[in-house]
């Protein structure tokens, strides 16, 4: 007997079963691929990394299915699908967490940047406040020093004004404050060469050393009493100015004084320097001080032997341009140069300065006199400017 023949029907049936399974697998794979591709098309906004990961999962599933062809596909496929679904869900969660971390990182960076900007602005504001405080402190200290200096000057001026008000009135001027009155009164008493002295007798006789009267050959003139009469126009201008006292030239009172007294009194040969002196007197920045002979230009050696600083040394006056005895010099402001002036020029400048000083006292409310008394004091100061302009001045006999 030969070997047993195989049943052709069984062989065909046995071979047909695996063929059917492979077709089913292929159909399922095609279904899965078609579903995966449709899902990919619907989720076109997904990233390339997500798509690659999905396809890698499908490919790994397909390899597992190829390895397990002889096993039951119905038992393996659901487990693999569950694993893929879990992986997909996990990937989605990781992606969401990654986006959340990126958003929080951006928020942190923004907060750090805002914190840095805020810190920088706070430091800048603090430095600015410190700088402003230092500037204000320096300005306050400077103003305090200036105020203290002004207070000292005003106290000195008030003291001088009190002395002036208490010791001088327009009706009876004080001879100690006005040396010209003493000089005028002193000219009447003199000594004669024969040893005769003038007495206070009404007959005007002279006595010799032996005591016998001798008829006088000098006639004694009676002392005239000074009379005055108020000008109504000038007094009205002064009253109008005194209601609102100021140094403005627009008022009729000061305009007249500038035109008739101040201008002519400060008009010198050197016109440019005269204008500077005029401006310095108005601004109260002019200084007059005595000088020693050693400070004068072109000092002769013989002059030093004749009395030191008060010796008769001639130098050129800066205002008149004439060679005169200059014992004083002026300075215009704090940083100006010194100019040597003659006694006549000094008398003219001093007269104008006295007028401005009294006017400033009235403006500051330091004069406690009646309007008529203040008017006569102003007239006296104007007369001094006129007299000085005409060339009359007093010299120091010391």
Closest CA to 340 of 353, 330, 325: 330
Least confident of 62-76, 264-278, 363-377: 62-76
Report the distance separating Cα 149 and Cα 144, nearest Å.
9
Residue 303 CB partners (closer than 8 Å, separation 6+) = 293, 311, 312, 313
Average pLDDT over residues 195-215: 41
Whole-number pLDDT of residue 359: 93
Residue 190 CB partners (closer than 8 Å, separation 6+) = 198
- Whether residue 227 has pLDDT greater than 90: no
The partner residues of 214 in beta bridges, in order of sequence, read 206
Burial of 349 (0-12, 13-18, 19+ CB in 10 A): buried
Q: What is the pLDDT of residues 42-53, one digit of tens each?
A: 444 445 656 566
Whole-number pLDDT of residue 302: 37
Q: Report the share of the chain in percent with pLDDT over 90.
A: 37
- Whether residue 13 has pLDDT greater than 60: no
Pick from 7-21, 189-203, 288-302 the range whose average pLDDT is largest.
Answer: 288-302
Report the distance separating Cα 312 and Cα 324, nearest Å.
9
- Whether residue 295 has pLDDT greater than 70: no
Least confident of 29-38, 138-147, 279-288, 319-328: 29-38
Whole-number pLDDT of residue 97: 85
- Supply φ then ψ for residue 286, to 5 degrees: -95, 140
Least confident of 105-119, 125-139, 149-163, 247-261: 149-163
Cα 128 to Cα 121, 124, 125, 133, 271, distances in angstroms: 10, 6, 5, 8, 51
**Alpha helices (H) in the chain, listed in sequence order:** 8-42, 48-67, 73-167, 179-186, 232-243, 252-257, 263-265, 271-282, 301-304, 343-363, 371-389
Tokens of 235: 């007094």
- Whether residue 211 has pLDDT greater than 90: no
The helix/strand/coil state of 101 is helix
Report the distance separating Cα 110 and Cα 107, nearest Å.
5
Pick from 36-45, 196-205, 206-215, 343-352 the range whose average pLDDT is largest.
Answer: 343-352
Q: What is the pLDDT of residues 136-184, one digit of tens each?
A: 999 999 899 888 888 888 888 888 777 777 655 444 444 444 444 444 4
Average pLDDT over residues 249-271: 94
Contact 319, 273 (CB under 8 A): yes
Whole-number pLDDT of residue 48: 60
Average pLDDT over residues 58-74: 63
Q: Report the share of the chain in percent with pLDDT over 70.
A: 58
The helix/strand/coil state of 70 is coil
Helix (H) or strand (E) holding 316: strand 314-316
Least confident of 141-145, 165-169, 249-253, 261-265: 165-169
pTM, full prediction: 0.45
Average pLDDT over residues 267-278: 92
- Whether residue 301 has pLDDT greater than 50: no
Burial of 191 (0-12, 13-18, 19+ CB in 10 A): exposed
Whole-number pLDDT of residue 294: 53
- Supply φ then ψ for residue 385, to 5 degrees: -65, -40
Whole-number pLDDT of residue 59: 72
Report the distance separating Cα 95 and Cα 100, nearest Å.
9
Average pLDDT over residues 260-271: 94
The helix/strand/coil state of 207 is strand
Q: What is the pLDDT of residues 315-370, one digit of tens each?
A: 889 999 999 889 899 999 887 789 999 999 999 999 999 999 999 999 998 888 89
Whole-number pLDDT of residue 347: 94
Cα 289 to Cα 300, 309, 330, distances in angstroms: 22, 13, 7
Closest CA to 362 of 200, 244, 249, 207: 244
């Amino acid at each position: 007997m030969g070997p047993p023949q195989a049943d052709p029907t069984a062989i065909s049936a046995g071979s047909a079963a695996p063929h059917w399974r492979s077709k089913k697998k292929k159909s399922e794979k095609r279904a899965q691929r078609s579903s995966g591709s449709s899902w990919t098309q619907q989720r076109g906004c997904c990233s390339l990394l997500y798509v690659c990961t999905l396809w890698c999962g499908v490919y790994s599933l397909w390899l597992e299915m190829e390895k397990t062809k002889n096993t039951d596909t119905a038992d393996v496929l659901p487990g693999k699908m569950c694993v893929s679904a879990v992986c997909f869900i996990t990937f989605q969660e990781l992606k969401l967490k990654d986006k959340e971390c990126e958003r929080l990182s951006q928020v942190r960076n923004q907060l750090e940047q805002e914190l840095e900007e805020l810190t920088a602005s706070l430091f800048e504001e603090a430095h600015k406040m410190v700088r402003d405080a230092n500037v204000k402190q320096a300005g306050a200290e400077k103003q305090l020093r200036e105020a203290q200096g002004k207070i000292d000057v005003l106290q000195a001026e008030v003291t001088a004004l009190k002395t002036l008000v208490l010791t001088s009135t327009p009706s009876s001027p004080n001879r100690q404050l006005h040396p010209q009155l003493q000089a005028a009164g002193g000219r009447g008493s003199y000594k004669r060469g024969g040893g005769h002295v003038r007495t206070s007798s009404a007959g005007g006789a002279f006595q010799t050393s032996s005591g016998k009267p001798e008829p006088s050959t000098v006639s004694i003139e009676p002392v005239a009493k000074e009379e005055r009469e108020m000008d109504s126009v000038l007094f009205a201008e002064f009253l109008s100015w005194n209601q609102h006292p100021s140094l403005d030239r627009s008022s009729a009172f000061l305009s007249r004084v500038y035109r008739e007294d101040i201008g002519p009194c400060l008009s010198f040969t050197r016109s440019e320097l005269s204008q500077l002196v005029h401006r310095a007197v108005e601004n109260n920045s002019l200084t007059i001080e005595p000088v020693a002979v050693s400070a004068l230009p072109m000092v002769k050696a013989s002059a030093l032997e004749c009395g030191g600083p008060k010796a008769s040394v001639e130098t050129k006056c800066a205002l008149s341009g004439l060679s005169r005895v200059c014992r004083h010099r002026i300075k215009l402001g704090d940083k100006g140069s010194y100019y040597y002036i003659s006694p006549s020029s000094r008398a003219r400048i001093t007269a104008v300065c006295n007028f401005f000083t009294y006017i400033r006292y009235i403006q500051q409310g330091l004069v406690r006199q009646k309007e008529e008394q203040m008017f006569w004091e102003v007239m006296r100061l104007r007369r001094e400017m006129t007299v000085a302009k005409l060339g009359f001045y007093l010299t120091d006999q010391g």
